[in-house]
């Protein structure tokens, strides 16, 4: 089956996450970029994602997803003018980047909120809807799989494609029911998220998904290696498809030359163990030993945010480090415009889309060697995440030497244009077609 102007004709049942403007991290960005590009290739996609029925709840960690949107915001989903994509939502509180703990806290909050509303208002019919969601997260994942099967009965498709572990059981179930081939797409693994403190249940779900899949797509060779060595998946089943980057079209250089006397070094991402925030702060401390006119901005939220604030204070650099909380949309663009340098000190990063966005915004990048994106970027500075001395050395060099910044920016910006979602989508279609060609 070949691809032509009319499209490949492949129909995909896609189990994904998050669509703009509710993107909380790289997983959402990837699902969106890939699906949009598939739409342009003429691939028919049924995009299935979880959506919480309740909208008026509060959480500790403010993650934005369709689940937390108002009905008006949700409408936005259908307004992407994706002519080959139909969106289906399943009522569920599952969210990208949730952990069993965060999930529980969130359900707890929802319950409390509902309880309060019920106490204040009229008690009755709407009792405890949260209990409908099968208790703990794992049960919810199984329930989600059942709902996906129901949904799949009325859909026409050739391939099932599931993104990251929470949707694997749904993918497995739908594939088993319909006899269609299953592709699981690994954007991160439990080892990336938790280091060696692996959650066994999560690991088992991941492993089963990979085992039952006909093809496993990973976002880098780095992740492919993990999938083979840690999950025992046979190498010939695993394909690498690098992420792309969304070009932001209307960029004006004039905006970039905001004059100010302080340099700005940016960390942008979730502030979690995986992202290495403490290495960023230790490097900042070293930089400030030899340079004065620098500010470090940590844009993002996450479970290590407060610890990071404390650490900055402990290191005596509190006044030099700014925490902005979670940024989105225009704020992200603004912070990129102000930044002289983007640093991604990730401890384990399957891919890492943010550096591509930084380059696309003309910000040079330092990335950890422990990231998938370092496989595709040549024109970036690279360090081992633990080597804070070298990280600081490189930060100082970029801030001090404009020719370095200029060369990195020019070459990097050029390089990043070659990483297109269209190519990623095409690679996925190639993988589907391998499965669909009768042997």
List interacting residues with another protein (CB under 8 A): 286, 289-290, 378-379, 381-382, 389-390, 392-394, 396-397, 400-401, 403-404, 406-408, 411, 415
Residue 265 makes CB contacts below 8 A (sequence gap 6+) with: 284, 287, 294, 295, 296, 297, 339, 340, 341, 342, 343, 395, 399
Asked if 300 contacts 266 with a C-beta cutoff of 8 angstroms, the reply is no
- Cβ nearer to another protein, comparing 86 with 389: 389
- Is residue 421 within 8 Å of 33, Cβ to Cβ? yes
Smallest separation, CB 407 to another protein (Å): 5
Cβ contacts of 75 within 8 Å, gap of 6 or more: none
Least distance (Å) from another protein to the CB of residue 265? Answer: 15
User: H-helix or E-strand containing 216?
Assistant: strand 215-218
Nearer to another protein, 2 or 403 (CB): 403
Q: How far is the CB of 402 from another protein (least distance, A)?
A: 8
263, β-bridge pairs: 294
Dihedrals phi, psi of 72, to nearest 5 degrees? -65, -40
Contacts for 318 with CB less than 8 Å, ≥ 6 apart? 309, 312
Task: For another protein, give the closer residue by CB, 22 or 296.
Answer: 296
Q: How far is the CB of 383 from another protein (least distance, A)?
A: 10
Closest CB to another protein among 305 and 365?
365
**Closer to another protein by Cβ: residue 154 or 257:** 257
Min CB(242)–another protein separation in Å: 15
Q: Is the dihedral of CA 248, 241, 366, 318 positive or negative?
A: positive
Q: Angle at Cα 46 formed by Cα 44 and Cα 49, nearest 5°?
A: 150
Residue 8 vs 371, nearer CB to another protein: 371
User: To the nearest whole angstrom, how small is the minimum distance from the Cβ of residue 156 to another protein?
Assistant: 43
Q: How far apart are alpha carbons 397 and 400 in whole angstroms?
A: 5
Q: How far is the CB of 390 from another protein (least distance, A)?
A: 7
Which of 208, 202, 224, 334 shows the shortest CA–CA distance to 268?
334
Nearer to another protein, 159 or 356 (CB): 356
Q: What is the dihedral of CA 96, 67, 420, 223, to 10 degrees?
A: 10
């Amino acid at each position: 089956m070949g691809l032509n102007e009319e499209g490949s004709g492949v129909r995909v049942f896609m189990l994904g996450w998050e669509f703009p403007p509710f993107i909380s991290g790289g997983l959402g960005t990837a699902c969106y970029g890939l699906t949009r590009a598939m739409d342009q290739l003429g691939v028919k996609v049924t995009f299935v994602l979880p959506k919480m029925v309740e909208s008026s709840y509060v959480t500790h960690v403010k993650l934005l997803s369709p689940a937390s949107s108002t009905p008006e915001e949700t409408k936005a989903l259908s307004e992407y003018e994706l002519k080959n994509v139909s969106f289906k939502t399943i009522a569920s509180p599952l969210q990208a980047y949730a952990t069993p703990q965060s999930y529980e806290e969130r359900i707890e909050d929802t319950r409390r909120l509902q309880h309060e509303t019920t106490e204040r208002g009229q008690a009755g019919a709407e009792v405890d809807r949260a209990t409908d969601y099968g208790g703990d997260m794992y049960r919810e994942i199984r329930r989600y799989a059942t709902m996906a099967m129901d949904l799949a009965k009325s859909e026409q498709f050739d391939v099932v494609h599931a993104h990251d572990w929470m949707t694997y059981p749904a993918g497995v179930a739908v594939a088993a029911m319909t006899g269609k081939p299953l592709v699981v797409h690994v954007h991160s693994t439990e080892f990336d998220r938790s280091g060696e403190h692996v959650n066994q249940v999560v690991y088992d779900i991941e492993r089963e998904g990979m085992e039952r899949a006909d093809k496993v797509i990973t976002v880098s060779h780095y992740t492919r290696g993990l999938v083979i060595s840690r999950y025992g998946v046979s190498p010939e089943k695993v394909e690498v498809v690098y992420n792309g980057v969304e070009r932001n079209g209307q960029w004006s250089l004039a905006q970039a030359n905001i004059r100010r006397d302080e340099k700005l070094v940016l960390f942008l991402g979730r502030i979690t163990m995986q992202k290495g925030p403490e290495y960023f702060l230790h490097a900042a401390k070293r930089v400030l030993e030899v340079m004065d006119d620098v500010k470090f901005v940590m844009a993002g939220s996450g479970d290590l945010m407060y610890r990071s604030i404390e650490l900055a204070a402990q290191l005596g650099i509190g006044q030099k480090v700014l925490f902005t909380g979670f940024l989105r949309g225009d704020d992200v663009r603004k912070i990129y415009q102000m930044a002289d340098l983007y640093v991604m000190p990730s401890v384990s990063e399957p891919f890492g889309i943010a550096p591509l966005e930084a380059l696309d915004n003309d910000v040079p990048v330092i990335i950890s060697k422990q990231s998938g994106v370092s496989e595709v970027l040549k024109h970036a500075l690279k360090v081992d995440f633990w080597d804070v001395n070298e990280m600081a050395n490189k930060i100082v060099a970029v801030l001090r030497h404009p020719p370095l910044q200029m060369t990195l920016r020019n070459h990097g910006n050029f390089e990043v244009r070659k990483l297109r979602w269209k190519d990623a989508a095409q690679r996925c279609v190639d993988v589907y077609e391998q499965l669909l060609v009768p042997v």
